[in-house]
Amino acid sequence: MKSNIIVCKNHQEASLRAAELTSDVIARTPHLTATFAAGNTPLDCYRELLRRQKEEGLLLDRARYIGLDEWVGLGPNDAGSCFAIMNPNYYLPADIPVENIYAFDGLTSNLDVEAARMQETLSRYPLDLAVLGIGVNGHVGFNEPGIPTTGDFSLVSLSESTQTVGRKYFAGNSTPTEGATITLQALKRAKTVVIIATGANKREAVSTILSGSDQLPAGAFLDHPGAIYVLDEDAAGQEKR
C-alpha cells in the first residue's frame, strides 16, 4: 500500500488522525487558507479540532476558509446546504470571523458571476490546506467522475448517484441537480490535502482508488506529495483486527 494511505481501526480513530494532521498544518501556518468539506464524514474531525482550540489553544480563527462546494438552489439557511452543515459544526463554534469565510451562494441570481467571484477568491488566496471527503461514486467536492470542470471553480451537472445519495441531507425535499465546486485542478495545488473515507459504503470507490486507477476524482491525489488518505478498515475493505 502506498505510503500516503493510512488505515485506522474505525471512524473515530480516522477522525482523530485526520484532525492531528490538520491541526499540525493550522498550528504552523499563520496566514492559512483552507477548504473544509461538508458532508457527514469529517464532522468528528472538526469536533476534535474544536476541542483542540478550546483546550490547547489551537488557532482556528486566524485562518481563511473557502467553501468547497454548494448545491445550486440552496442558500446558507437552507437545511442540507453545505454552508448549513459547516456553519453550526465548525465556523460558528470556532468563532471564524464572517469576513474570513468565502462561500458560494447557491441562491444567487447569476451563477456565472458568483462562480467568477469564487474563482477570483481562489486566485487571490491559493489553498494551503484541503480537508476532503469522498462521495459514494468517488467524487470530491462536486467533481463528478467523467464530468469535466474548467478553471479553479466550476458549475457542474450532478450525477444520478450524487442526487440519490444527497437525499440523506434533504429530509424528503427534492435534491438539486446542479452543484458548484472548487475544481480538482485548484485542490491539487493545495500544499496539504487530507482525504477522509470511512464506512463500508465507500469501499467500492476506495478500492478503485487503491488500485491506482485515475478514473475517479478522489484518486487524483495519489501522487500528490502533500496528500494523505485517512481510511478506516471498513472503507479500506480490511478484516477487523
Q: Using CB under 6 A, which of 14, 34, 68, 187 touches ligand GLP?
A: 68
Contact by Cβ (8 Å): 67, 103: yes
Q: Using CB under 6 A, which of 38, 60, 74, 184 touches ligand GLP?
A: 38
Catalytic residue status for 214: no
Among the listed residues 104, 99, 100, the one whose alpha carbon sits nearest the alpha carbon of residue 83: 104
User: Measured from the CB of residue 71, what is the shortest distance to ligand GLP in angstroms?
Assistant: 8
Catalytic residue status for 40: no
Q: Which of 144, 152, 232, 233 is catalytic?
A: 144
By beta-carbon proximity to ligand GLP, the closer residue of 46 and 58 is: 46
Counted residue by residue, the chain has a size of: 241
Bridge partners of 231, per DSSP, are 7, 197
Q: Using CB under 6 A, which of 142, 153, 221, 229 touches ligand GLP?
A: 142
Applying the rule CB under 6 A, the residues between 216 and 235 that interact with ligand GLP are none
Q: Using CB under 6 A, which of 76, 106, 138, 141 touches ligand GLP?
A: 141
Could you tell me the three cell numbers for 176? 438539486
Rounded CA gap, 177 and 191, in Å? 31
Residue the block writes with cell 476532503: 132
40 forms part of the interface with ligand GLP (CB under 6 A): yes
Phi-psi region of 80 (alpha: psi -120 to 50; beta: other; left: phi over 0): left
Catalytic residue status for 224: no
User: Measured from the CB of residue 57, what is the shortest distance to ligand GLP in angstroms?
Assistant: 28
Residues 152-181, mask of contacts with ligand GLP (x by CB under 6 A): ----------x---x---------------
CA angle 231, 236, 237 (to 5 degrees): 150
HSE-up (13 A, CA, CB side) for residue 189: 13
Q: How many residues bind ligand GLP (CB under 6 A)?
A: 13
Catalytic residue status for 160: no
Q: For the chain, what is the radius of gyration of the CA atoms?
A: 17
By beta-carbon proximity to ligand GLP, the closer residue of 27 and 43 is: 43
User: Measured from the CB of residue 141, what is the shortest distance to ligand GLP in angstroms?
Assistant: 5
Strand order in the sheet with 227-232: 5-8, 227-232, 192-197, 129-133, 33-36, 64-66, 101-102
Interface contacts to ligand GLP, rule CB under 6 A: 37-41, 68-69, 133, 135, 141-142, 162, 166
Catalytic residues: 69, 137, 139, 144
